[in-house]
Amino acid sequence: MTSTHVESSNSVLDDRIEDELARLRTTFRSGVTRSIDWRIAQIDGLIRFAKDHTNTLIEAMAADLGRPPIEGWTADISTSISGAEHMKSKVRKWAKPRRKKLPLVSQPASAKVMPEPLGLSLIIAPWNYPVNLVLEPLVAAFAAGNVVAVKPSEVSPHTTGVIVRELPKYVDDRALAIFEGDAAMSTALLKQRFDHIFFTGSTHVGRIVMRAAAEHLTPVVLELGGKSPVIVANDADISVAANRIAWGKTFNAGQTCIAPDYVLVTEERRDELIDAITNAWGVFFGEKIVASPDFGRIVNRHHHQRLTELINGAQGNVAAGGDHDIDDLYVSPTIIVDPPLDSPIMTDEIFGPVLPIITVANVSEAIDFVNDRPKPLALYVFTSSSDTIDAVLNQTSSGGVCVNHTLLHFVPPDLPFGGVGPSGMGRYHGKAGFDAFSNMKGVLAKPVRGENNLAYPPYTDAKQKLIRTVT
């Protein structure tokens, strides 16, 4: 089985893309992808790919991102495998028609919801988790019976190279095309008609994807980002909160869409929290963080410069860190206290190991602070009070919430994950992913015998009275 991929060469790009997509549509129309055994075989192949190439993929992610090997394993490899194994164990059940009850007026009849594949799906993946964010949606797409075009990120070229070379060997390559290239390739792909688009990336690019999808009325799942807040209540265990915030903020050097973006805390607990987070980073990475093998690097010089400009423009008190080295792509874990709320660090997604801490009077003010801003992808709250938890859950809106920890709500394979408003739309993981790549077709079947002329004209007074009574 040979690798199927298209590289961007400007003059013939559109024609080559069209040829590849036509090939995929031919495969879909053949009906081969509707077989549940075929779907399970593809999921098995993706699991074997992740297992067989674990070390190669981890090394590639280290080359692309400077990521510690254990982070590559936990965030990209193990989560992809567990999600695929969960999907494999459930796909027969989820693909079955789902019987529905009918009201008296519809009787005699039967009804069901019939999940069917949407057809040709496009997956555009980002660079920050370049394995997981290809494999997880790909598992869902194959489980639902689709053929798939995948566009991995050019910003993580070593990892993309492994995917391009090896992945097609593990699945039915009649149903997969991998498109290498930069933004020009994505632009060219988005001009084409798909039956579904799954995009993970920034809100800015998400708008571009949605505009392109609207041209063909293509349904989308947009996994975006934004500024995910942390609310630390006065009754929180500061030591525990600090460890978990410090870990969530520096995992993958903060280049995580659900990383804690900023913290809301009262003046009463603020300095204690700052000291505890700073101490946690010291325990995690040692006195000389730049030398730690466990602290990652920024993906490239562009993003490094973007982060240093955020730090320099914050005008807040740098309470910890602030060091950076563009040649090493290093930005130290940094805390900035009360930067101006209209500064870029408080209006733009940070996507790096820089943590603003904002002083608020109480949890109620923190909730108002969150609600005054675009709905986030994730929200974190640290408290020992069930009333505070309920208040935050009921009075805010976010894609997901993690109580007394960070990041972990992404991990469970059957907990739906996604955004809301500017942080995205649609859900995946487990059944939510299967459903996202499926058309839930409603089917009603009536028997031929027992024809009832009540519903047909002419509508006599007697008929109308009976219809009104029955309905």
Residue numbers annotated as active site? 223, 257
Closest among 347, 376, 366, 338 to 260, alpha carbons compared: 376
End-to-end distance of the chain based on CA atoms, in angstroms? Answer: 59
Asked whether the beta carbons of 433 and 415 are under 8 A apart, the reply is: no
Q: Judge whether 322 and 352 are in contact, CB under 8 Å.
A: no
Give the count of beta carbons closer than 10 Å to the beta carbon of residue 173. 17
Rounded CA separation 382/343 (Å): 26
